[in-house]
Structure 1
Amino acid sequence: MDTGALGLGGPSPCRREGLHSGSLLGFLPPLCRMDEESPDGLLFKDPDFSSDLLRQLDGFRQNGILTDVSICAGAQEVLCHRNVLASSSPYFRAMFCSHFRESSEAKVQLKGIDWPTLEQIIAYVYTGQVHIAAENVLPLMEAASMLQYPKLFEACSSYLQSQLAPGNCLGMIRLSEILSCETLKKRAREVALTSFPEVAKSADLKELCALELRDYLGDDGLCGEEEKVFEALMVWIKHDLQNRKRYIQELFAQVRLQYVHPAFFHHFIANDDLLQSSPACQTILETAKTQMFSLHGTSAAGCRALGHVPPRNSYQDFLILLGGRKDNQQTTRDVLLYDSQTRQWHSLAKLPTRLYKPSAVALHRSVYVLGGMAVSAGKSVVSHNVYVFSLKLNQWRLAEPMLVGRYSHRSTAHRNFIFCIGGIGDGQELLGSMERYDSLCNAWESMASMPVAVLHPAVAVKDQRLYLFGGEDIMQNPVRLIQVYHISRNTWFKMETRMIKNVCAPAVVLGERIVIVGGYTRRILAYDPQSNKFAKCADMKDRRMHHGATVMGNKLYVTGGRRLTSDCNIEDSASFDCYDPETDTWTSQGQLPHTLFDHACLTLQCLPHTASRSLLS
Structure 2
Amino acid sequence: MDSQRELTEELRLYQSTLLQDGLKELLEEKKFVDCSLKAGDRSLPCHRLILSACSPYFREYFLSEQNEEKKKEVVLDNVDPNILDMIVKYLYSASIDLNDSNVQDIFALASRFQIPSVFTVCVSYLQKRLAVGNCLAILRLGVLLDCPRLAFSARDFVSDHFVQICQEEDFMQLAPHELISVISPDSLNVEKEELVFEAVMRWVRTDKENRVKSLGEIFDCIRFRLMPEKYFKEQVEKDDIIKSNSDLQKKVKVIKDAFAGKLPDSSKSTEKSSKGEVNGDVGDEDLLPGYLNDLPRHGMFVKDLILLVNDTAAVAYDPLENECYLAALAEQIPRNHSSIVTKQNQVYIVGGLYVEEENKDQPFQSYFFQLDSIAGEWVALPPLPSARCLFGLGESDNKIYVIAGKDLRTEESLDSVLCYDPV
Q: TM-score range by the shorter chain?
A: 0.5 to 0.7
Do the aligned partners of residues 91 and 290 (structure 1) sit closer, same or farther apart at CA in structure 2, a change above 3 Å counting? Answer: closer
Alignment RMSD: 4.1
Once the two structures are superposed, the pairs formed by residues 354-433 of structure 1 within 5 Å of their partners are none
Indicate the residue corresponding to 2:83 in structure 1: 117
Indicate the residue corresponding to 1:72 in structure 2: 38
Indicate the residue corresponding to 1:486 in structure 2: none
Do the aligned partners of residues 61 and 267 (structure 1) sit closer, same or farther apart at CA in structure 2, a change above 3 Å counting? Answer: same
* Cα contact 2:35–2:73 (8 A) shared by 1: yes
Q: 1:61 aligns with which of 2, 24, 27?
A: 27
Q: How many residues align?
A: 293
Following TM superposition, by how much is the alpha carbon of 1:315 offset from its aligned partner in structure 2, in angstroms?
2.4
- Larger displacement relative to structure 2 (76-85 or 122-131): 76-85
Following TM superposition, by how much is the alpha carbon of 1:64 offset from its aligned partner in structure 2, in angstroms?
2.6
* Cα contact 2:193–2:222 (8 A) shared by 1: yes
Cα offsets for 1:493-539 (capped at 9, x unmatched): xxxxxxxxxxxxxxxxxxxxxxxxxxxxxxxxxxxxxxxxxxxxxxx
* Cα contact 1:193–1:221 (8 A) shared by 2: yes
**Aligned AA (1:256):** R
* 1:313 matched to 2:298: yes
Following TM superposition, by how much is the alpha carbon of 1:92 offset from its aligned partner in structure 2, in angstroms?
2.8
For normalisation by structure 2, the TM-score amounts to: 0.58
Q: Secondary structure at the match of 1:108?
A: strand
Q: Secondary structure at the match of 1:84?
A: helix
Indicate the residue corresponding to 1:563 in structure 2: none
Following TM superposition, by how much is the alpha carbon of 1:150 offset from its aligned partner in structure 2, in angstroms?
0.5
Indicate the residue corresponding to 2:325 in structure 1: 344
Following TM superposition, by how much is the alpha carbon of 1:339 offset from its aligned partner in structure 2, in angstroms?
9.3
* Cα contact 1:95–1:103 (8 A) shared by 2: no
Following TM superposition, by how much is the alpha carbon of 1:153 offset from its aligned partner in structure 2, in angstroms?
0.3
Do the aligned partners of residues 104 and 288 (structure 1) sit closer, same or farther apart at CA in structure 2, a change above 3 Å counting? Answer: closer
Give the Cα–Cα distance (whole angstroms) in 2 for the partners of residues 276 and 313 of structure 1. Answer: 30
Q: 2:261 aligns with which of 287, 294, 298?
A: 298
Indicate the residue corresponding to 2:115 in structure 1: 149
Do the aligned partners of residues 201 and 320 (structure 1) sit closer, same or farther apart at CA in structure 2, a change above 3 Å counting? Answer: closer
Cα offsets for 1:554-598 (capped at 9, x unmatched): xxxxxxxxxxxxxxxxxxxxxxxxxxxxxxxxxxxxxxxxxxxxx
**Aligned AA (2:325):** Q
* Cα contact 1:86–1:97 (8 A) shared by 2: no
Indicate the residue corresponding to 1:19 in structure 2: none
Following TM superposition, by how much is the alpha carbon of 1:171 offset from its aligned partner in structure 2, in angstroms?
2.1
Cα offsets for 1:589-615 (capped at 9, x unmatched): xxxxxxxxxxxxxxxxxxx88xx9xxx
Give the Cα–Cα distance (whole angstroms) in 2 for the partners of residues 183 and 317 of structure 1. Answer: 27
Cα offsets for 1:216-242 (capped at 9, x unmatched): 333222222211111112112222223
Q: Secondary structure at the match of 1:254?
A: coil
Following TM superposition, by how much is the alpha carbon of 1:288 offset from its aligned partner in structure 2, in angstroms?
5.3
Give the Cα–Cα distance (whole angstroms) in 1 for the partners of residues 326 and 26 of structure 2. Answer: 64
**Aligned AA (1:336):** P
Once the two structures are superposed, the pairs formed by residues 262-341 of structure 1 within 5 Å of their partners are 262=229, 264-282=231-249, 284-285=251-252, 297-298=260-261, 307=292, 309-316=294-301, 318=303, 336-338=319-321
**Aligned AA (1:231):** E
Give the Cα–Cα distance (whole angstroms) in 1 for the partners of residues 49 and 318 of structure 2. Answer: 71
Following TM superposition, by how much is the alpha carbon of 1:336 offset from its aligned partner in structure 2, in angstroms?
0.7
Once the two structures are superposed, the pairs formed by residues 132-531 of structure 1 within 5 Å of their partners are 132-224=98-190, 225-262=192-229, 264-282=231-249, 284-285=251-252, 297-298=260-261, 307=292, 309-316=294-301, 318=303, 336-338=319-321, 344=325
Identity %: 28
Indicate the residue corresponding to 1:577 in structure 2: none
Q: Structure 1 unaligned runs (5+)?
A: 1-29, 37-43, 300-304, 322-333, 347-390, 394-607
Following TM superposition, by how much is the alpha carbon of 1:279 offset from its aligned partner in structure 2, in angstroms?
4.3
* 1:90 matched to 2:73: no
Indicate the residue corresponding to 2:336 in structure 1: none
Following TM superposition, by how much is the alpha carbon of 1:260 offset from its aligned partner in structure 2, in angstroms?
2.0
Mark the structure with the bigger radius of gyration: 1
Following TM superposition, by how much is the alpha carbon of 1:183 offset from its aligned partner in structure 2, in angstroms?
1.3
Cα offsets for 1:374-408 (capped at 9, x unmatched): xxxxxxxxxxxxxxxxx988xxxxxxxxxxxxxxx
Give the Cα–Cα distance (whole angstroms) in 1 for the partners of residues 169 and 322 of structure 2. Answer: 35
Q: Secondary structure at the match of 2:319?
A: strand
Cα offsets for 1:404-446 (capped at 9, x unmatched): xxxxxxxxxxxxxxxxxxxxxxxxxxxxxxxxxxxxxxxxxxx
Following TM superposition, by how much is the alpha carbon of 1:319 offset from its aligned partner in structure 2, in angstroms?
8.4
Do the aligned partners of residues 47 and 218 (structure 1) sit closer, same or farther apart at CA in structure 2, a change above 3 Å counting? Answer: closer
Following TM superposition, by how much is the alpha carbon of 1:103 offset from its aligned partner in structure 2, in angstroms?
6.6
For normalisation by structure 1, the TM-score amounts to: 0.41
Higher strand share: 1
Indicate the residue corresponding to 1:48 in structure 2: 14
Give the Cα–Cα distance (whole angstroms) in 1 for the partners of residues 100 and 257 of structure 2. Answer: 54
Following TM superposition, by how much is the alpha carbon of 1:155 offset from its aligned partner in structure 2, in angstroms?
1.0
Indicate the residue corresponding to 1:508 in structure 2: none
Give the Cα–Cα distance (whole angstroms) in 1 for the partners of residues 32 and 139 of structure 2. Answer: 44
Give the Cα–Cα distance (whole angstroms) in 2 for the partners of residues 243 and 155 of structure 1. Answer: 39
* 1:128 matched to 2:128: no
Following TM superposition, by how much is the alpha carbon of 1:182 offset from its aligned partner in structure 2, in angstroms?
1.6
Q: Secondary structure at the match of 2:44?
A: strand
Do the aligned partners of residues 110 and 231 (structure 1) sit closer, same or farther apart at CA in structure 2, a change above 3 Å counting? Answer: same
- Larger displacement relative to structure 2 (129-138 or 86-95): 86-95
